[in-house]
Amino acid sequence: MTNRMEKKSQQSYLPYRSFSGYLRGIFGRPLRKVPIDPGFGCPNRDGTTGVAGCSFCNMESFVPQYALNVKDPVEQVREHLKNSPKSEYIAYLQAGTGTHAPVEKFGDLVACLMQMPGNMGLFVGTRPDCVNEEIIAILSPYVNRKLVWLELGLQTASDTTLKRIGRGHDVAEFIKARHLAGGKGIPVCAHIILGLPGEGRKEMMDTARFLAEHKLDGVKIHHLQVIRGTRIEGEYKKGEIVTLDAVEYPVLVADFLERLTPWMVIHRLLADAPDDLLIAPRWPTRQEIILDIRDKLHSRCGFQGRLWSP
Ligand code: SF4
């Protein structure tokens, strides 16, 4: 560890509400999330909503390695836990769109996963336009027994940008899904991306204010990564877009965190694409960036929620 990292690691006070701290508060210890590919695909690729997909997405980058050979979601959990079969964990429908299936099929999968030994909960990653009353009715009975979260891809609070990146849904659909889940006590985590094409600091901070305004329970913050095989790759190679650099990003995230509500759980601070698929940006290690974000907040006596007003 470098001296710089040693110095920063001594800063034990976290100026934001971390996901690991949140889990420790509930379970008394960190718990692992077991990523699963439920095999439901994506409505933005199979023609339901669109065929081209989102411009930044290569679905390969989400699929856990073991899911390439093991298609059954329950078997994927067993495969992931084969070296520690007694451990407790949270199942995570991560790859593709976790609710893009006939309701009965989704309900059966949820029931199977929740009954597995060691299962402490379920996180469902999906799109706002793939959430409805029936999906919420399947998840809500577990809320008081297990840790259940809905992770909704928003990416940005700007409809103009959503159109530009080909998301196939708008902000209004996100608001509707957020409140459907919230109405039944299911916490919602929004996925957002900083540095999307056409967005500057103003649009990014608008997204932070939007999350606070709609009382999101959590957020996963990513930086735009140019992944092999995406439309963004073509735009990047033609010089039509630039990516954020490792100096400006920690400042942006610090600014973003200060505009959120103090209770929002910060599930993630930057993206993490597989190295062999990543074209740009090439940054220092993940840990260095996280420490830089903390350092930016510490050095200005900042903290999550400092600029939020109810
Ligand atoms: S980001 Fe999600 S919705 Fe968009 S193409 Fe990829 S899997 Fe589909």
Those residues of the chain that have pLDDT short of 70 are: 1-12
Contact present, 139 and 124 (Cβ < 8 Å)? yes
Tens digits of per-residue pLDDT, 131-185? 999 999 999 999 999 999 999 999 999 999 999 999 999 999 999 999 999 999 9
For residues 173 and 171, give the distance between their C-alpha atoms in angstroms, rounded to a whole number.
5
Ligand 1 neighbourhood includes 216 CB (under 6 angstroms):
no
Ligand 1 neighbourhood includes 43 CB (under 6 angstroms):
no
Give residue 234's pLDDT: 97
Ligand 1 neighbourhood includes 77 CB (under 6 angstroms):
no
Q: How far is CA 199 from the centre of its chain?
A: 19
For residues 285 and 270, give the distance between their C-alpha atoms in angstroms, rounded to a whole number.
11
CA-closest residue to ligand 1 atom 5: 53
By most ligand atoms within 8 Å of CB, the mutation choice from 37, 40, 45, 163 for ligand 1 is 45
Ligand 1 neighbourhood includes 157 CB (under 6 angstroms):
no
222 alpha carbon – ligand 1 mean position (Å): 14
- Looking up tokens 């190679």 gives 237
CA-closest residue to ligand 1 atom 1: 57
Domains belonging to the chain, first-starting first, are 3-299 (3.80.30.30)
Mean residue pLDDT of the chain comes to: 94
Ligand 1 neighbourhood includes 96 CB (under 6 angstroms):
yes
Give residue 12's pLDDT: 66
Tens digits of per-residue pLDDT, 188-197? 999 999 999 9
Ligand 1 neighbourhood includes 100 CB (under 6 angstroms):
no
Contact present, 90 and 122 (Cβ < 8 Å)? yes
